[in-house]
Chain A
Amino acid sequence: MDERTAFLVKIGQIPAPVETPKAKSQPKKKEDDDGHSAE
């Protein structure tokens, strides 16, 4: 958050930005010996 945004939040003129949680990285699908997905 930049200084101006922090100030505007501080004096209540704008709501605090919502921190969006970082998307979890998808675990790699296991591949069988042939290189195909296990599904």
Chain B
Amino acid sequence: MAIVLNNKVGVKIATVDVSDMVTAATLNYAFDEIEVTAMGDTAHKFVKGLQSGTLTLSFMNDVASNDILDTLITSWGTTVAVKLLQDTGAAVSDTNKLYTFDILVNNLTPINGTPADISAQDVTFTINSAVTVADTGTF
């Protein structure tokens, strides 16, 4: 058994390591199922179509220059590269795969919360490329 705690996930947006502000990360990617059912079939049949996905991040709004909020606001409306790694304390490997893709920075909620809250955001970005999963590489 090789289950892992989720406390070492690494997140890089546009080459900026924002892991220390991220409180939750969810990568979801899938492909279209294109129906190819034809006469004579007794069940629906599908083939793999185009890929799509989303990246959902929860993070604290570090307002420091060149940090996460600055990176995302500056990248607003553009496509930037993202890297995700399960365990930043270990090298990329077969058991610690590196996920690389692009996101379209299409929404932000930079002001968010009540007086009792740490300013934070929960945002979902559309993935704007294929998701590459690698056993080698650098985070």
Contact = CB atoms under 8 A, between A and B. Distances in A.
Interface stretch (B72-80, B83-91, B110-118): B72-80
Interface string A4-38: 10011011110000000000000000000000000
B16 A13 contact: no
A3 B66 CA distance: 9
Contacts of A7: 65-66, 70, 74
Query: Range of interface residues on chain A?
Result: under 10
Interface of A: 3-4, 7-8, 10-13
25 contacts: A3-B65, A3-B66, A4-B65, A4-B66, A7-B65, A7-B66, A7-B74, A8-B74, A10-B14, A10-B15, A10-B16, A11-B13, A11-B14, A11-B15, A11-B71, A11-B74, A11-B75, A11-B80, A12-B14, A12-B15, A12-B78, A12-B80, A13-B14, A13-B74, A13-B78
